[in-house]
Every structure is written in C-alpha cells, then in structure tokens.
Amino acid sequence: MPRNEIYAEDFVYDELSYLDYIRSDNTNKEERRKMKIILSKALLQELTELQRFCLTEYYLKGRKKKDIASDLSVHPSTVTRHIHRAEHKLKHIASYYS
C-alpha cells in the first residue's frame, strides 16, 4: 500500500546547489520573461492563422482536438498536424535563444 505521508528524510538537499538555485532565480525569471516575449511574437508573426488557432484552442483553452476539428470542418488529424507544425516552428525559434 503506498504511503501518503511525506517525511523530511525523503528530501535530500545539497546545500550549495540549493543556494545556487536561489541565487539564479532572478536570472531564470528574466530568461522566462524574454522567452515569453519572443514566443508571443513568434505566435503572431511566424505561425499561420490555423496553426495559431489550433495551438491556442488546444493548449490555452484546453479543448479537445476533435472539437477543434469540428469547428474547422476538418479531420482531427489535420488539427494534430497544425499543432505539431506550430510546435516545431516555436521550438526551432526558441532554440536560437536558449
């Protein structure tokens, strides 16, 4: 039977690594902020209207692919293809900035 309790012993910390993580938090926030700006621009400038629609409906609104496909009068595999192509473009763009 799995246990539901959490014990301090379950977490082993390397104190120096933890301190480095805390110190780098502002840097991570700044990097995330820059990446968010870059990806927002890419969403508007690099993706087709259908790619943008499918991606935002699926990820941001949490809709099912079959429902998106129904709205567009296309097969669900077409929605999947639009999402995958959009993801590929965004990953490609993000790779230049990481």
User: DSSP of 18-69, one letter per residue?
Assistant: HHHHHHHHHHHHHHHHHHHHHHHHHHHHTS-HHHHHHHIIIIIS---HHHHH
Predicted confidence band of residue 73 (pLDDT cuts 50, 70, 90): very high
Supply the pLDDT for residue 74: 98
Q: Which two tokens stand for residue 43?
A: 């969403």
Q: How far apart are CA 55 and CA 60, in angstroms?
A: 8
- Among 58, 66, 64, 45, smallest CA distance to 84 is for 58
| 73-93 mean pLDDT | 93
**CA–CA separation, 40 vs 46, rounded Å?**
10
pTM of the model: 0.63
Q: pLDDT value at position 8?
A: 43
- Is the Cβ–Cβ distance between 82 and 51 less than 8 Å? yes
Domain assignments of the chain as residue spans, ordered by start: 15-95
The per-residue pLDDT for 98 is 60
pLDDT given at position 84:
94
| pLDDT computed for residue 39 by the predictor | 77
60: tokens are 């941001």
Confidence class for position 20, pLDDT limits 50, 70, 90: low
Instruction: Give mean pLDDT, residues 76-93.
Output: 92
CATH of region 15-95? 1.10.10.10
